[in-house]
């Protein structure tokens, strides 16, 4: 439902506002990179705007430091609905190396309702474009939770191929 | 002034089209690119070396039962440093070339692996028996796997 609504509302033009919530600047450089003619995000109607009141989407990078959290909250309140929140980079998706530090809250989803996660440290410009294209419904999702278990006796008896090298 | 603009236009036209057709056409990373981590369930023997060196604390290890150890990789915060792949003695954990990992659910960024271990008769610590046949003799292997009573 939300996806369809977003497609309809944002399909032609997605204006973004970029917020740095304690990022090391790696992700910010990649976001700017996406807007250069080489990657040309304006093909999809993506434009960087200077005020959150003009934006449809918020790009957050950084692990959300304690100091910036209230400002980020106010920033989100200034964004008109319907709105999208993208967490860009490992810091924003999960806290990065600082996930358990006292000075950070550990990820954008601790403060904001994040709609799309784009992991990477920093994510390649292609990865950011992919995330935005995924949000617009142009490309399919490629990741899912993976749960493995080593083969138990029944699977071994059923002849599950062994790929483990036997060492003596 | 006008000539300068004209020259600029000529330079721009000479450059041709520079924009990548990216989402429409693939653009693979250079070799050596470090993308999403994977773990090979057949190779890992649960030593925990990767968890020890990971700077982002991606890898959690806990002994679920006496004979099973569970590895959880919360790779949403992975920094793609490659330390885990460097220290893994069995090359079980590796960094792939995959970068198209955008998702709309935080739960998608988790990998878990259950490793069956045999406890040492003396110290009670877990180890993995050296061969497949030895593994079948370990009581815990059956119990944990739910195979034989
Ligand atoms: S994800 Fe990596 S590149 Fe991006 S802000 Fe965090 S540390 Fe910097
Ligand atoms: S690549 Fe680095 S951050 Fe990612 S799981 Fe391996 S050691 Fe941890
Ligand atoms: S992935 Fe490698 S280093 Fe990590 S627990 Fe398994 S064998 Fe040990």
Residue ranges around ligand 2 (CB below 6 Å): B 37, 53-56, 58-59, 78-84
Taking an 8 Å cut-off on Cβ atoms, the answer to whether A141 and B55 are in contact is no
pLDDT of residue A94: 86
Which sequence spans correspond to the domains of chain B? 28-119
> How many Cβ atoms are within 10 Å of A110's Cβ, its own excluded?
14
Residue B43: pLDDT over 50? yes
Predicted pLDDT of residue A41? 82
> Is some CB atom of chain B closer than 8 A to the CB atom of A146?
yes
Domain boundaries, chain A: 2-143
Return contacts of B26-32, CB within 8 angstroms, 24+ apart.
Answer: B27/A126, B28/B97, B29/A124, B29/A126, B29/B97, B29/B99
Chain B nearest-CA residue for A62: B77
Tell me what pLDDT residue B127 has.
61
User: Could you tell me the fold of the domain covering B28-119?
Assistant: Alpha-Beta Plaits (3.30.70)
- The parts of chain A modelled with pLDDT lower than 50 are 163-168
Does residue B148 surpass a pLDDT of 50? no
Q: How far apart are CA A28 and CA B94, in angstroms?
A: 27
Find, in chain A, the residue whose alpha carbon is nearest to that of B148: A153
Q: Whose CA is nearest to atom 5 of ligand 1?
A: A23
Whether pLDDT at B147 is above 60: no
The CATH T-level fold of domain A2-143 is Rossmann fold (3.40.50)
Q: Is the ipTM of this complex over 0.85?
A: no
Q: How confident is the model at residue B140 (pLDDT cuts 50, 70, 90)?
A: very low
Give the residue, by CA position, lying nearest to ligand 3 atom 8.
Answer: B47
Q: Whole-model pTM?
A: 0.80
Question: How many angstroms is it from B67 CA to the middle of ligand 2?
Answer: 26
Q: How many beta-carbon pairs under 8 angstroms link A with B? A: 173
């Amino acid at each position: 439902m939300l996806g369809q609504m977003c497609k309809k509302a944002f399909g032609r033009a997605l204006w973004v506002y970029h917020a740095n919530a304690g990022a090391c600047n790696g992700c910010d450089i990649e976001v700017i990179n996406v807007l250069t003619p080489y990657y040309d995000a304006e093909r999809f109607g993506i434009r960087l705007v200077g005020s959150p009141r003009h934006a449809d989407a918020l790009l957050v990078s950084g692990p959300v430091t304690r100091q910036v959290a209230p400002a980020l909250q106010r920033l989100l309140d200034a964004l008109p609905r319907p709105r999208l929140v993208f967490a860009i980079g490992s810091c924003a998706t999960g806290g990065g190396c600082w996930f358990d530090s006292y000075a950070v809250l550990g990820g954008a989803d601790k403060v904001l309702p994040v709609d799309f996660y784009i992991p990477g440290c920093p994510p390649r410009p292609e990865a950011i474009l992919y995330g935005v294209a995924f949000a617009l419904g142009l490309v399919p999702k490629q990741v899912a939770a993976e749960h493995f278990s080593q083969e138990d006796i029944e699977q071994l008896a059923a002849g599950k191929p062994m790929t483990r090298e036997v060492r003596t | 002034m006008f000539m300068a603009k004209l020259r600029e236009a000529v330079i721009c036209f000479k450059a041709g089209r520079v924009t990548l057709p990216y989402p429409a056409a693939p653009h693979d990373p250079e070799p050596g690119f470090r993308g999403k981590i994977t773990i090979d369930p057949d190779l890992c023997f649960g030593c925990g070396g990767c968890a020890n060196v990971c700077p982002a604390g991606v890898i959690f290890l806990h002994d679920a039962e006496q004979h099973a150890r569970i590895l959880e990789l919360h790779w949403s915060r992975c920094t793609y440093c490659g330390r885990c792949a460097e220290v893994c003695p069995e090359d079980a954990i590796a960094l792939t070339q995959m970068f198209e990992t955008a998702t709309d659910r935080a739960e998608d960024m988790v990998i878990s692996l259950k490793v069956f271990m045999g406890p040492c008769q003396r110290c009670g610590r877990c180890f993995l028996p050296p061969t497949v046949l030895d593994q079948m003799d370990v009581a815990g292997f059956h119990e944990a796997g739910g195979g034989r009573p």
